Structure 1
Amino acid sequence: MSDSTPTDNRPTNRLSGETSPYLLQHAYNPVDWYPWGEEAIQKARDEDRPIFLSIGYSACHWCHVMEHESFENSTIAAVMNERFVNIKVDREERPDLDQIYMNAVQLMTGRGGWPMSVFLTPELKPFYGGTYFPPEARMGMPGFPDILVRVSEVWQERREELLESAEKLTAAISDMVPPAAADAAPGEETLRSAMQALLRSSDGTHGGFGAAPKFPHPMDIRLLLRCWQRFQNEEALEVVKLALDKMAAGGIYDQLGGGFHRYSTDHRWLVPHFEKMLYDNALLTSSYVEAYQATGDTDYARIVRETLDYTLKEMTQPQGGFYSTQDADSEGVEGKFFVWSEQEIVKLLGEVDARLFNSYYDVTPRGNWEGHTILNRPRPHDEAAAALGIDPQELREKLTACRETLFAVRAKRIAPQRDDKVLVAWNGLMIAAMAQAGRVLGDERYLSAAVDAAEFVLGEMRNESGRLLHSYKDGRARFNAYLDDYACFVDGLVELYQATFEEKYLEVAAELATTMIDQFHEPEQGGFYYTSHDHEQLITRQKDLQDSATPSGNSMATTGLLKLARLTSRRDLEDIALGTLRMLSGMVEKHPSAAGQALLAVDFLIGPTHEIVLVDGSNAEEGNAVFHELESRFLPNKVVVRTSAASSPSALLGPLVEGKTALENNATVFLCQQGTCAAPVRGDDLKAALDSLVTKM
């Protein structure tokens, strides 16, 4: 499905030797594209030319539009080739470059997005930029050819003025720092304030937060679940349920194939931007798993299964790694693969079944989007069954058969292209989600998939010294890993340990955490740089601070280190996590909407956080039943160790498991906080003890 090998005989440019599907999409452009590297930079210096830097990603709709309109246009390409050194970058391969130059564009224009278009001096300092530019002036935007000519003229005629502007802008990027640390470390009042801000911004009619375009906000949803439990605030739970229910019923969710599209272009979750990202589906899976634990609503478990089954079918490579994205477009048309007409459905299902299906999924002769229908569920299941005069279970069975028929037909359509590179950070998020779902739902398929992905990263995405490499495609692992690669993968391994209790995953997590600290930590101000100490020198070195569509590297580093600290009794890891939270505290206090993952770490830190040790007795099934009992509850602030008298625990776990044995050879649970344990419990006493943990907030 990757669009990386065109079959015609057009000449290629220098991108033809790259592995990125996004770069390969541009390999046949008449633009003399270079990948980022010394060859292009030296050419700009030798020829005294400015650099045109274009950054995007394979699933980006407007990136495709600008390519077709401008980069495939030989006249525009000629101007680019004559006046600039042109560099194309995949933001998913080089997020370090994307961060720096996106900050520049936002400082210059007040907004950002992709494709990102930025002009640099040969010393890589930005002086002009924007996002999408049309091929001719329209809608208040200048035409791209006009911009090219004007920038070139300014470079020739007003060089000193331009260089001065570039120096100031570069200094401004370097000076971007988070708000000053708060007077005290974030605590319970920080969580209460964030909860109230989220409740104020919630949409009480359609669910979610804010207006169109609407993004899912999975970290904020998970935070509100914790605040519901901590503060006994029922409104927080209602906001969570409404958001999850409306998203699962909307067009943002693929009603046939499972999985979530990236965001909704409208306020009611009907019309998505049709691309599917691995990270969205990982983060939303965790949200629905926790909502299932908190409410017992089996519909949330269904969404988890459908989303992960989609991931297994369409986003998992044969070796076990998870692919990055699926495109929004097929056959050059956004959403074409996913939409339907009433006539088409009647022909496929027959009049009787089509009447039920079309009523349930909002299919009408006029359609609900550009003459076609995006499948969605405007009414709850039981309400729809009552309106149709059919038993709810019978309706469920009929709809399942109808969906299977339509899915089989859809599978024969020309599918959206897939970006089949494997990224460590996003794999870490999905490993955590698969592990969490596997242990809560008791589904070995998801645990097996998490293991396979972890083994793939460990086996194929490290260099000879054991350091992680960021991206893998076509048998090649490339690029020094970034902070979020280490942080997300460490967290994924910790979650995988707590699902499988294979101690090697905890040991590797601890090793990689040490590397992360050695290579990225900045002890003076606290926190971590985004790039390692031995990374390519760029115009500035930044810290990844804000939680947006994905959690920031610093927030995830804090999360993983706190879990590791509790499992291994290593106070030094907790101290580094605390220092990172203090560094983030000003932003967390002033901009909680940009700190969802950091606030999850705060909630874990202030607890009460439980270290739970399960010691198996002679009957393994009894231990499995105890573990199921534990995972059936919403207890997010816990770490779990499982051992037995016959095993020899890793030295990492020594302080936590030392002296703990199965009473009378029955499965026994030890409930601890920071190494201090209550009396062991087993049998009938266990449920009451676990229930007490849920209420002790």
Structure 2
Amino acid sequence: MPNRLAASLSPYLQQHKDNPVDWWEWGPEPFAEARRLDIPVLLSVGYAACHWCHVMAHESFEDAATAAYMNEHFVNIKVDREERPDVDAVYMQATTSMTGHGGWPMTCVLDHDGSPFFAGTYFPDQPRHGQPSFGQVLQALSDAWHTRGDEVARVAATLREHLGSQSSLAGQTELTWPELLEGAVVTLAREFDQQSAGFGGAPKFPPSMVLEYLLRISGGDGAGTEARRMVDATLEAMARGGIHDQLGGGFARYSVDREWVVPHFEKMLYDNALLLRVYAEWGTPLGRRVADGIAAFLLAELRTPEGGFASALDADSEGEEGTFYVWTPAQLAAVLGPDDGAWAAALLSVTEAGTFERGASTLQLLRDPDDPERWESVRRRLLEARATRERPARDDKVVAAWNGLAISGLCRAGYVAAAVEAGELLWRVHMVDGRLRRVSRDGVVGAPAGVLEDHGCVAAGFVDLLSATGDPVWLHRAGVLLEAALAHFAAPDGGFFDTADDAEALVARPRDPSDNASPSGLSAMVHALVEYAAVTGSGRHRDAAESALAAVAVLAERAPRFAGWSLAAAESMVGGPVEVAVVGPPGEERDALERRARQHPGAVVVAADGPSDDIPLLVGREPVDGRPAAYVCRNLVCQRPVTTLDELSSALPR
């Protein structure tokens, strides 16, 4: 019989609705029940595309004996980290503080006030490699609760105090932002993988936000040359590696090796949205092909009937990871015939030994095919054959922040109609009583309130929709979201909290300026504020962006890999964002000027038929002698309008 999770909106919680565990959703009710029964709360956090979450669920949460013990000795809460990033952030901080590392599935045990006194990640069903079994952990914790209550209370109080102290961003730097920007390149170059590109060793994640920063400062001499070298090498290595779906487009979550050969096969919306943007801005033929492939993947596999974009595709199918994507030489020959099969195997690095498991290989495209037409025929036939395999499951909830990132990427890659549909869905469904909600599914909005990253990413997406369509309604909608963020998320030191001042009170109010898999709330807000100020000329929004950047300066100095999005925004702030108004009658001339302007990474571009009093950047902007014209401004200074591509290229900063 299904448990309480059967009524949940979350696909992740729905995956656990048939567990024998008597799960509760997060809320005051389970804590009240734990207080009534005088037993602790067990909090389990994960997400739908998490491979090890599936493993632990199968081993422990589906096991009748384990579930019976959990039900008798704990009140059990299941949380989707993508739906409640605020809850996840607080208890992930506790987990890393107690264990030195984090990840999902995350398991925390809490007192009746929500204070953790134990935290960990995956626990096996049997003792393994010196790690206790989940059952042993449960028994020890239940025993501690009933026999060593003073010790439990002391640990919980200490952790609660520690979590509260994290709400203040300590540290100062004497460096100015120009120095920080240059120093970040030096630090990133030191951490750059000279052999395989990217940063660090295995596992290796797509550094999309860092690449956006490096792309903005690339060119010229010195740091600009080094930045471009890292961008070019990394974007090409990822594009040609197994982490990139060479048949269907899109990228997997990360590579388990440093060479980008074998991915962890889940595909996340936020990764692909960010990579769509940076590949579209790269300005190379390979970048254009990859961007088109990512867009095709988003539209074919993640788009929902309501016009939004689903959160993720699972890594697993047929009960194992990666089986949907990998091939053997024999499988290629069976689909393509012996000649094309052998040609494809050589082109895609599919060998008898294999690069994955059981003789199968991921597909790599280490060189451009010598026969593009033959490759397109091979790719189409393999894609059709792959479509007959069991598909990975899809987490089809719509997350506001990640859809905001997708809107920005689609606008910058030229897929405007799809971006508009997603924007309309967010405004129509996710705005409730003037406030932004985080998730929806099947067109039905969920209860969780929007957090800071939702406001920042969606507002920036709306500014990009203004840029792509020239429709001032998007500027108004971006302004509404930014006003709400400034009113409800601002911190006394000029930064931001990740949750609103009227949101549910947790053990601590989360506040993390570091970028992780997606932009931090702070860095997302700074981007939105900078771009809104560029279009409107609003000094108040620019001042708010500058104050927020001050809160992340120390992180940017010491760990630029975790501040790439803030660094990209700071680059715009230091020189003033590049603002380009393209006005004139629609047609090839205006389109050409607009395309060239949009090739400049980070530029805020608005194209329209003529001047508009509703869009400050377009006030007084007229065509020149009846011809489309581009007006380039930066740092409150505008150049004369230009009408040719050569003139526009000269007017844009190098």
Tell me whether the two structures share a fold, i.e. TM-score over 0.5.
yes
SS in 2 for 1:663: coil
Compute the displacement of 1:41 (Å).
Answer: 1.3
User: Do residues 677 (structure 1) and 645 (structure 2) align?
Assistant: no
SS in 2 for 1:210: coil
SS in 1 for 2:632: strand
Q: What is the identity, as a one-letter code, of the residue corresponding to 1:484?
A: E
Cα distance 1:694–1:589, how it changes in 2: closer, same or farther (>3 A)? same
SS in 1 for 2:24: strand
Cα distance 1:676–1:341, how it changes in 2: closer, same or farther (>3 A)? closer
What pairs with 1:617-636 in structure 2 (closer than 5 Å)? 620-631=587-598, 633=599, 635-636=600-601
| Residue of structure 2 equivalent to 1:8 | none
* 8 A contact 2:326–2:363 mirrored in 1: no
| Residue of structure 2 equivalent to 1:5 | none
Compute the displacement of 1:648 (Å).
Answer: 4.0
| Residue of structure 1 equivalent to 2:604 | 639
**Aligned equivalents of 2:365, 2:636: Cα separation in 1:** 50
User: Do residues 286 (structure 1) and 277 (structure 2) align?
Assistant: yes
* 8 A contact 1:643–1:649 mirrored in 2: no
User: Do residues 668 (structure 1) and 632 (structure 2) align?
Assistant: no
| Residue of structure 1 equivalent to 2:40 | 50
Compute the displacement of 1:402 (Å).
Answer: 1.3
User: Do residues 63 (structure 1) and 53 (structure 2) align?
Assistant: yes
User: Do residues 414 (structure 1) and 390 (structure 2) align?
Assistant: yes
* 8 A contact 1:70–1:77 mirrored in 2: yes
**Aligned equivalents of 1:170, 1:417: Cα separation in 2:** 38
Moved more, 510-519 or 662-671: 662-671
**Aligned equivalents of 2:221, 2:17: Cα separation in 1:** 55
| Residue of structure 2 equivalent to 1:338 | 325
Compute the displacement of 1:85 (Å).
Answer: 0.3
**Aligned equivalents of 2:638, 2:401: Cα separation in 1:** 35
State which of 186, 191, 209 in structure 2 corresponds to 1:219.
209
User: Do residues 363 (structure 1) and 328 (structure 2) align?
Assistant: no
State which of 375, 384, 387 in structure 1 corresponds to 2:362.
375
Compute the displacement of 1:628 (Å).
Answer: 2.5
* 8 A contact 1:257–1:306 mirrored in 2: yes
State which of 140, 148, 153 in structure 2 corresponds to 1:163.
153
* 8 A contact 1:611–1:675 mirrored in 2: no
State which of 321, 345, 351 in structure 1 corresponds to 2:308.
321
Compute the displacement of 1:489 (Å).
Answer: 0.3
| Residue of structure 2 equivalent to 1:496 | 465
Structure 2: give runs of 5+ residues left out of the alignment: none
**Aligned equivalents of 1:517, 1:374: Cα separation in 2:** 50
What pairs with 1:263-282 in structure 2 (closer than 5 Å)? 263-282=254-273
**Aligned equivalents of 2:576, 2:530: Cα separation in 1:** 13
User: Do residues 397 (structure 1) and 373 (structure 2) align?
Assistant: yes
Compute the displacement of 1:228 (Å).
Answer: 2.0
Question: Which string of whole-angstrom CA distances, capped at 9 and with x for unpartnered residues, describes residues 249-275 of structure 1?
Answer: 111111111110000001111111010
State which of 503, 509, 512 in structure 2 corresponds to 1:541.
509
| Residue of structure 2 equivalent to 1:530 | 498
SS in 2 for 1:528: coil
Compute the displacement of 1:602 (Å).
Answer: 0.8
User: Do residues 515 (structure 1) and 484 (structure 2) align?
Assistant: yes
* 8 A contact 1:670–1:681 mirrored in 2: yes
Cα distance 1:608–1:570, how it changes in 2: closer, same or farther (>3 A)? closer
State which of 192, 199, 203 in structure 1 corresponds to 2:193.
203
Cα distance 1:689–1:341, how it changes in 2: closer, same or farther (>3 A)? closer
* 8 A contact 1:274–1:335 mirrored in 2: yes
Moved more, 447-456 or 674-683: 674-683
User: Do residues 244 (structure 1) and 209 (structure 2) align?
Assistant: no
Cα distance 1:660–1:500, how it changes in 2: closer, same or farther (>3 A)? closer
* 8 A contact 1:178–1:586 mirrored in 2: no
Compute the displacement of 1:231 (Å).
Answer: 4.8
What pairs with 1:554-565 in structure 2 (closer than 5 Å)? 554-565=522-533
* 8 A contact 1:629–1:687 mirrored in 2: no
* 8 A contact 2:306–2:443 mirrored in 1: no
Q: What is the identity, as a one-letter code, of the residue corresponding to 2:489?
A: F
Question: Which string of whole-angstrom CA distances, capped at 9 and with x for unpartnered residues, describes residues 18-69 of structure 1?
Answer: 1111111111111111111122111011111100000000000000000000
Question: Which string of whole-angstrom CA distances, capped at 9 and with x for unpartnered residues, describes residues 99-156 of structure 1?
Answer: 0000000000000000000000011000001000001110121111001000000101
**Aligned equivalents of 2:547, 2:612: Cα separation in 1:** 34
Moved more, 475-484 or 607-616: 607-616
**Aligned equivalents of 1:625, 1:308: Cα separation in 2:** 21
Moved more, 170-179 or 226-235: 226-235
SS in 2 for 1:33: coil
**Aligned equivalents of 1:594, 1:275: Cα separation in 2:** 22
User: Do residues 690 (structure 1) and 649 (structure 2) align?
Assistant: yes
Q: How many residues align?
A: 651
What pairs with 1:343-492 in structure 2 (closer than 5 Å)? 343-377=330-364, 379-381=366-368, 392=370, 395-438=371-414, 446-463=415-432, 465-478=433-446, 479-492=448-461
Moved more, 174-183 or 144-153: 174-183
Compute the displacement of 1:625 (Å).
Answer: 2.8
Compute the displacement of 1:318 (Å).
Answer: 1.4
| Residue of structure 1 equivalent to 2:618 | 657
* 8 A contact 2:24–2:76 mirrored in 1: yes
Compute the displacement of 1:415 (Å).
Answer: 0.5
**Aligned equivalents of 1:170, 1:484: Cα separation in 2:** 24
State the superposition RMSD in angstroms. Answer: 1.6
| Residue of structure 1 equivalent to 2:568 | 600
Question: Which string of whole-angstrom CA distances, capped at 9 and with x for unpartnered residues, describes residues 430-465 of structure 1?
Answer: 000000000xxxxxxx111100000011111111x2
**Aligned equivalents of 1:335, 1:657: Cα separation in 2:** 50
* 8 A contact 2:311–2:396 mirrored in 1: yes
State which of 616, 629, 643 in structure 1 corresponds to 2:584.
616
SS in 2 for 1:128: strand
Compute the displacement of 1:676 (Å).
Answer: 3.1
Compute the displacement of 1:323 (Å).
Answer: 0.3
State which of 108, 113, 119 in structure 1 corresponds to 2:98.
108
**Aligned equivalents of 2:391, 2:641: Cα separation in 1:** 55
Cα distance 1:347–1:642, how it changes in 2: closer, same or farther (>3 A)? closer
* 8 A contact 2:214–2:228 mirrored in 1: yes
Compute the displacement of 1:417 (Å).
Answer: 0.4
Compute the displacement of 1:692 (Å).
Answer: 4.1
Compute the displacement of 1:689 (Å).
Answer: 4.3
**Aligned equivalents of 1:37, 1:659: Cα separation in 2:** 53
Q: What is the identity, as a one-letter code, of the residue corresponding to 1:638?
A: A
**Aligned equivalents of 1:607, 1:494: Cα separation in 2:** 20
Question: Which string of whole-angstrom CA distances, capped at 9 and with x for unpartnered residues, describes residues 570-614 of structure 1?
Answer: 100011111101111122212212111110011000125332222
**Aligned equivalents of 1:574, 1:362: Cα separation in 2:** 50
User: Do residues 131 (structure 1) and 121 (structure 2) align?
Assistant: yes
| Residue of structure 1 equivalent to 2:141 | 151
**Aligned equivalents of 2:337, 2:634: Cα separation in 1:** 61
Compute the displacement of 1:221 (Å).
Answer: 1.3
Compute the displacement of 1:664 (Å).
Answer: 2.2
* 8 A contact 2:66–2:135 mirrored in 1: yes
SS in 1 for 2:652: helix
**Aligned equivalents of 1:476, 1:623: Cα separation in 2:** 40
Aligned-pair identity (%): 39
Cα distance 1:205–1:376, how it changes in 2: closer, same or farther (>3 A)? farther
**Aligned equivalents of 1:209, 1:263: Cα separation in 2:** 12
**Aligned equivalents of 1:638, 1:270: Cα separation in 2:** 34
